[in-house]
Amino acid sequence: MSTMKFCRECNNILYPREDKEQKILLYACRNCDHQKNGSYTEGRSLRPWAPCFWNGNEIHHSAGERTQVLQDVAADPTLPRTKAVRCSNCGHGEAVFFQATARGEEGMTLFFVCCNPNCGHRWRD
């Protein structure tokens, strides 16, 4: 977790800034000329010299998790519903629909999920 850093001269917040010549991260005060090197973790590590980088979050879902999300869509009260379609699997006359980009296709695709709790059939238009 990131912590806020404060200027030791005037107690204002230090903001991250890049020193392009030395290619290092600095924390600089916007009110006075105080700067501090920010390229290390300042005692939060066993190796205080180790650089700290954040590569972002990567979430991987199993096929079972993705299926569960689509089945739960029918119970979502915030999604629009239509009675203008019939489920080809059970014949139920109500479905939830939403737009999403389908893999390998250009543009948006309209997806439907049957509202029958015993069915949950999915199709696209």
Per domain, the residue ranges of the chain are 1-58, 63-124
Mean pLDDT of 84-97: 91
Alpha carbons 5 and 19: distance in angstroms, whole number: 18
Torsion region of 23: left, alpha or beta (phi above 0 gives left; psi -120 to 50 gives alpha) = left
Domain 63-124 classification at class level: mainly beta
Looking at domain 1-58, its CATH architecture is Single Sheet (2.20)
Domains 1-58 and 63-124 alike in fold: yes
Give the three-state DSSP class for 24.
Answer: strand
Start-to-end CA distance of the chain, whole Å, equals: 44
Contact between residue 66 and residue 72 where contact means Cβ atoms under 8 Å apart? no
- Residues 33-68 pLDDT 10s: 888 887 554 444 444 455 555 556 666 666 655 555
